[in-house]
Structure formats: C-alpha cells, structure tokens
Amino acid sequence: MEKIIVKFKRLDKQFNDIPVPSYSTEHSAGMDIRAALEDEMIVKPGGIVLVPTNLSIEIPEGYEIQVRPRSGLAIKHGIGILNSPGTIDSDYRGEVKIILFNFGKSDFIIKRGDRIAQLILSKVYRAELIETDELEDTKRGSGGFGHTGIK
C-alpha cells in the first residue's frame, strides 16, 4: 500500500492530550478524527454544530481529504455530517472543523477527545470540460431519479 505524507500542526497546546487522527484497524480506509473541546458540546435533535479539532493540515498537491461520518455514530445516535463527504482542499491551511448534524430524536453529547468523523485521503483528478453539440447515446439516456423503480 502506497503511503503519502500529510503534515499536520496542533493549533493550541491545551489540546495536546487529544490523539491525532489515526487508523483504528490495519485495513481501515479512514482515520478517526477527534473533538478538541474544553467542555461538552450538545447537539440537539435537528441541530447543527461545528466541532473544532485543533488541527491544521498540509495535504500534498493533487490530493484532498474527504470528511465522512462514522457508521457507529450514524446507526446508534443518528449523527451525520452535512455536505458529506466534506472536502479539505490541498491549499487550505485553517483549522479542520467538522459539521455534525443530529438526525436522531435525542440530544447527543460530544466530549473532549471523542472520535467524531473519519478522514480519507483521495487522489484528485482535474477535468477538462469540452463543449459539444452532441453526446454519445446510452441505454439509460436521460433517465434519472428513480427511473429503474424499487423492485
């Protein structure tokens, strides 16, 4: 498996006890990232919060990091990520913050150091769009949004 170096910087020393993003298992695709909070944060049902991580990262040119939800938080608590997957561009140097949404029916409490999302390093391809008067036909054609039914 190819390894890509991604540099990071902690922004505030008071959060140095919080582990940096890491892979939980040998074959994990995503690194868990944690909340850098002084106090608990409550996400009300239907609520949106922006969770700090105390990290700034330097992603190599030609790559992005995608922010994705953690499946356990989704199924057990109804916690998801808005604009999922979120994208961190290689030229961004601000603090990584995670946009969480509570789809559930109960308050969700985030504590200091909780694993709140996962980060996936992905190669970026740049498209060159070429205007044309005709596109190749396909079997599907312009069918979309449920055109194949549910059965």
**For residue 51, is it within any domain?**
yes
Residue 63 lies in a domain: yes
What residues make up the domain containing 100?
32-123
Task: Evaluate whether residue 151 is within a structural domain.
Answer: no
3 occurs within a structural domain: no
Q: What is the DSSP string of 110-145?
A: E-TT-EEEEEEEEE---------S-----SSTT--S
pLDDT, tens digit, 9 for 90 and up, residues 44-102: 999 999 999 999 999 999 999 999 999 999 999 999 999 899 999 999 999 999 999 99
The count of structural domains within the chain is: 1
What pLDDT score was predicted for residue 129? 97
* Residue 1 in domain: no
Residue 66 falls inside a structural domain? yes
We report the CATH number of the domain holding residue 114 as: 2.70.40.10
pLDDT exceeds 90 at position 148 = no
pLDDT score, position 30: 96
10-23 residue pLDDT tens: 999 999 999 999 99
CB atoms within 10 A of CB 52: 17
Distances (CA, A) of 38 to 100, 103, 133: 18, 24, 57
